[in-house]
């Protein structure tokens, strides 16, 4: 099993969120590298784990939280490191010319590479929202995510390999779905699938020492939002 080692962690308790990237804890202010809402995870008094690394504004970086008796990863920046781990292990094919943070049409994608001799573009996304065993993305609307998918679609239509890979840092996930409430992202993903983009999701099991990459999650297409609305109106 592949695993991404974590830096040394210390326990703390979450008190409140100050802004998108800053939380208050019982040990002081912590950087939270995640712009999602995470309302079901960040409850006052929740046990968390952080990496002590003082800066002028924070005492460290929040990495894990406890929820439903398990550890859940909240550092979204680790998704691309997990994808790099898969790439370097040859999970997608023989790898060459790996480059990070590639600029394309004013956007930044996580990786470009040659995979099995073909040009490839890859983007990693983080997910830690799980409801009844179903991992749901996004936790908040993401126009940037939709733009990334459209770029991958164009690359795929031009004959390149394109991958969008979600890392679900929640061990209770049994399947993955895009939340159709984010219509722009949902439509961009449908277009990406038609263009040949590989849409993948992997379950990641966090421990205090590492993030363990587990199996690929089955992908579920929930009904688009307009279908749901039509259903509700027709049965009102």
- Which residue, 141, 106, 101, is CA-closest to 121? 101
pLDDT at 204 over 70: yes
Using CA of residue 209, residue 213, residue 215, residue 216, what is the dihedral sign? positive
Q: Does domain 76-222 have CATH number 3.40.1350.60?
A: yes
pLDDT digits over 104-147, tens only?
888 899 999 999 999 999 999 999 999 999 999 999 889 999 99
Beta bridge partners of residue 198, listed in sequence order: 163
CA 91 to chain centre: 18
Say what the pLDDT of residue 150 is. Answer: 97
pLDDT digits over 163-176, tens only?
999 999 999 999 99
Say what the pLDDT of residue 95 is. Answer: 98
Which regions of the chain does DSSP assign to beta strands (E)? 3-5, 10-19, 22-25, 28-31, 47-52, 60-67, 70-73, 95-104, 107-115, 118-127, 130-131, 134-137, 161-168, 175-178, 198-206, 210-216, 219-220
CB 38 within 8 A of CB 14: no
Domain ranges of the chain: 3-73, 76-222
CA 68 to chain centre: 20
Q: How confident is the model at residue 1 (pLDDT cuts 50, 70, 90)?
A: confident
pLDDT at 236 over 50: no
Domain 3-73 and domain 76-222 have a common topology: no
Q: Which CATH class is domain 3-73?
A: mainly beta
């Amino acid at each position: 099993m592949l695993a991404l080692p974590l830096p040394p962690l210390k326990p703390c308790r979450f008190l409140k969120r100050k802004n998108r990237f800053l939380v208050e804890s019982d040990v002081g202010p912590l950087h939270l590298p995640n712009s999602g809402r995470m309302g079901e995870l960040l409850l006052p008094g929740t046990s968390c784990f952080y990496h002590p690394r003082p800066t002028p504004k924070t005492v460290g970086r929040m990495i894990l939280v406890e929820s439903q008796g398990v550890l859940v990863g909240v550092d979204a920046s680790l998704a691309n490191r997990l994808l790099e781990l898969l790439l370097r292990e040859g999970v997608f094919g023989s790898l060459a010319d790996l480059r990070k943070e590639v600029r394309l049409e004013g956007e930044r994608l996580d990786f470009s590479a040659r995979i099995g001799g073909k040009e490839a573009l890859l983007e990693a996304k983080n997910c830690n929202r799980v409801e009844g065993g179903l991992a749901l993305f996004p936790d908040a609307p993401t126009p940037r995510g939709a733009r990334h998918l459209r770029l991958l679609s164009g690359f795929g239509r031009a004959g390149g390999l394109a991958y969008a890979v979600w890392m679900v840092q929640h061990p209770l996930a049994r399947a993955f779905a895009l939340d159709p409430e984010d219509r722009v992202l949902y439509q961009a993903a449908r277009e990406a699938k038609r263009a040949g983009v590989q849409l993948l999701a992997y379950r990641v099991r966090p421990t205090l020492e590492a993030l363990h990459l587990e199996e690929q999650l089955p992908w579920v297409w929930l009904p688009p939002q307009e279908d749901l609305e039509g259903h509700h109106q027709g049965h009102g």
